[in-house]
Chains A and B, each alone.
Chain A
């Protein structure tokens, strides 16, 4: 964007015509951005709410920061957990939790990640948990990295685009720009969605799908591809684990009626011992390149999906057989090297009890069709918040460290133990096995955080994960979002720091979250607006006198008022400059964190405390105009022997002579300058494929399309010469085109360098609910599972408590899904508080079909009440022909779509759809099932 500032005031804000993705255009929220910066709801003073009080008081920064630092120290020290129930040294605090942020800068995320771990906090979460967390292990286990494989502009290179579980015209209009561009070039767009939305209006084929039946749909597609031989045989044989032989004890869900081998119904989990490859005496995997051995992954895949016939899939999904076959036929036409198909999705795919497996099904389809690593192909996970990708990369999640290094567990007492467990061993030749370099990245991170201490000692500073101390009813090592709120309810977490996140509205079962907040001893909210979370103590229906939470609302600066970088869904880290000062006394997060760190260091130096060296030895930055750049340089990394910035992560070492905060971003800010700030708008690929290597910095190593060597044959020659992405030049002995994924010569490394197999995984044993996706009904479903006797996901995590209640189809006969609007942002704080956006969509609404409305006596525009087992909400009824009832046997199922953006604060307060949604979670990442649950509706 380009800002026009006159006398310190922002007078205009519009798109930057040089930007390769948006070319000067902006979505409606982008266009209204000036309204956000200048919102009348901006908080300009530090606000404090004393326990039991019914109003805010204004305080000054010094007072608030002193008090907050004191609260952090006291809470941390009082219930410090040095060893857990198993006697392992864990050095952590379980009394403090942090949430946020996905809309801050990478520098802020990195600083937060660093500080919170130095404090020994383990309950660290942000929006990614409840939004795209299922994407990361799904894509990570399939290909090696858990991020969008291609990038927004690349859509224009596709021949067929499948949109399922996403609404890009609504949520990513500037990415949709490139989807429409593809259509202009002859591509076909398939949209599969429970309702005909703005994306579907441009579809060539649209199919209405019953919410919660996506894996059935994809399973049908996999079966179709296999039965009709639409798969790319070369790719499947050489670039996937299809020919690998699997342990003969492994059984598919076809053979075990919906379960895989190794299920323990008491523990509700799998013993995955049988989910392994057959290996030879050197540990190398055994293969059958003819793909005929019944134990090959390929044949097991066929067995797994033989039940997913078009007729049965049609019954489950509600999509007519002819339409299914039309879609399958069109999409599988991309199984040829000269045709590219891409799948794109967002929350409709991720937010299910089977979310991870759903995305795995996309991965399997794309691997079978040879669509990974080619232009116009890939799996395009569209991430939502402005920096949720960056915040995920910098690990504002409990289970990770920056660069997806994972956080050590209590059973690895020394650095050596931990590194050994993380170094991967290649089991297939010639695999580049990149994670063998793990120690270089991990040790460099320790050196960046605690520079004056040797890595062994620094390792001890890190908190370790293990099952909770105490923690009834669930003692597992689950420190995720929903575990946080249950722990708060049970009084185990005393203090919460919420930076740019609004859990009172944003996660499932909002009533539980709000009640939990009442139980906190102290709450620090850092936000530019007074959110529902900050104001929970005065929400409708509660008596503030009964709520003893001490609340601080620290006004924060927004992006125009600070400099830094953010990473978009295509992995581009882009730098932005500060253009104006924050209003009133608002401050940016780096300032706030630095002030806290200074206070904490002083306190720990003077008073002492458990594991105090972790704080005292922590490197931190001075206040300065250039602080963001200093932070960026730290996560880029330094060569400690020369003092110079690192140029690339391949140069990092594991002997403690390099420091690097996040190896994926090594190369983003080098001696040559801030690569993230580069703005060369020229396409750098000779074919004009839309690669802009000199615009910003794309991780890893400025690579634009991941796994790009899969677009070549075994000698490095492109399989589609007309659209070649990379190619090996044997004369000059180097790769041309995009930054190759693995710089080694073709015969020295397979394309999927981050996996020990070196090839993509059709069979992925690393997930908790199976190496293959299997269809299960949503936790709250109106129908029994038709594909097997196992109704629901057998290992998914479902919270059950007084506030976690589930309903039956008899009481709640209508299937509900939730969704977003292009005019609003999630909980609405960033859009209902912008008059230009509130005007566009002023009230919450529910879309329902004409027949249902008639049967309930509801007219278009009437207010209605929607109830689930957990709560209720009021909304305007939008009676529309764009949703049709689904006939399953002799039953007619109605489905409705509910908009999520309202809450009791800000412009036009209203009810949040999360007052209805369940905490039924995916077992791999604990993401909630907000996309399929049951409700009933009546006129209000």
Chain B
């Protein structure tokens, strides 16, 4: 059977660089806050610091999202047009709004456990809804497996930990980072294998096609290298991990649209 169909050219995506960047910011900032609540809630200073990082990530990220809209000035329609719970983007927009408010609350009242926990819940929703957003589409690379939320959460943990390491390196964070990095890789490989029958073009684009630079870049520079470098320099490892986390979001977003 001969039927000519082109894969979508790289550069023609509907969700591109800015979306990938937003995913990364939300993941890193959100992950930092979640980890601080899980492991450092006794240090109000750290919680406050993490809340500020997450807040900035949410604000900056939301800014990117608004600018990326086809009609940025109409972004208020997201909140004023009614209830669309079936739309993951709708629920996600509310999560972002409420998470921002909650993080601000934490920043102002870091001691309040209610603030910390409600912000943690909302931040967790912000980190994971992006994966659900992708899963709810028709793109086989995104919807063929239930693993994207696992991937995004694990990535949020590694990049959040890396972010915190940049400020105050400690042993516990390092262990979290390494453990989650392995989970992240395992989930990624499993996802690629599982999705292959339905999304062969996407998987091949990653392994040997126009997105291979991002995939292998992530694997080598953003995953393997930091683990190896970790003993010597926390700084370089953290930076590389963050870079790797961005590459991961990038190639997940782009591969889905091939």
Contacts and interface: CB of A to CB of B under 8 A. Distances in A.
Interface of A: 860-861, 879-881
A380 to B, nearest CB: 32
A860 B4 CA distance: 9
B2 interface: yes
B4 A881 contact: no
A861 B2 CA distance: 12
A860 B5 CA distance: 12
Interface string B1-14: 01010000000000
Contacts of B2: 860, 879-881
Nearest to A881: B2
Contacts of B4: 860-861
A881 B3 CA distance: 11
A567 to B, nearest CB: 40
Contacts of A880: 2
6 contacts: A860-B2, A860-B4, A861-B4, A879-B2, A880-B2, A881-B2
A572 B4 CA distance: 41
Nearest to B6: A861
A881 B4 CA distance: 13
Interface in B1-59: 2, 4
B72 to A, nearest CB: 31
Contacts of A861: 4
A860 B1 CA distance: 13
Contacts of A860: 2, 4
Contacts of A879: 2
Nearest to A880: B2
A879 B4 CA distance: 11
A861 B6 CA distance: 12
A861 B4 CA distance: 9
Nearest to A882: B2
Contacts of A881: 2
B6 to A, nearest CB: 10
A880 B3 CA distance: 10
A861 B3 CA distance: 12
Nearest to B1: A881
Q: Identify the 6 closest CB pairs spanning chains A and B, nearest first.
A: A880-B2, A881-B2, A860-B4, A860-B2, A861-B4, A879-B2
A547 B204 CA distance: 56
Interface in B104-162: none
B258 to A, nearest CB: 19
Nearest to A861: B4
B46 to A, nearest CB: 59
B2 to A, nearest CB: 7
A198 to B, nearest CB: 15
A860 B2 CA distance: 10
B158 to A, nearest CB: 43
A880 B4 CA distance: 11
A619 B74 CA distance: 70
A293 B179 CA distance: 105
Nearest to A850: B2
B141 to A, nearest CB: 25
B3 to A, nearest CB: 11
A237 to B, nearest CB: 52
B161 to A, nearest CB: 48
A849 to B, nearest CB: 12
B52 to A, nearest CB: 53
A661 to B, nearest CB: 53
A186 B23 CA distance: 61
B171 to A, nearest CB: 58
A204 B215 CA distance: 52
A879 B2 CA distance: 9
B103 to A, nearest CB: 50
A96 B205 CA distance: 64
B89 to A, nearest CB: 33
A477 B162 CA distance: 93
A879 B3 CA distance: 11
A876 to B, nearest CB: 11
B160 to A, nearest CB: 47
A841 B4 CA distance: 14
A881 to B, nearest CB: 7
A381 B93 CA distance: 66
A861 B5 CA distance: 12
B233 to A, nearest CB: 50
A881 B1 CA distance: 9
Interface in B187-234: none
Interface string B168-197: 000000000000000000000000000000
A456 B163 CA distance: 107
B8 to A, nearest CB: 17
A444 to B, nearest CB: 59
B197 to A, nearest CB: 25
B205 to A, nearest CB: 19
B7 to A, nearest CB: 14
A311 to B, nearest CB: 34
A420 B2 CA distance: 64
B27 to A, nearest CB: 40
B181 to A, nearest CB: 43
Interface string B231-255: 0000000000000000000000000
A506 to B, nearest CB: 30
B182 to A, nearest CB: 43
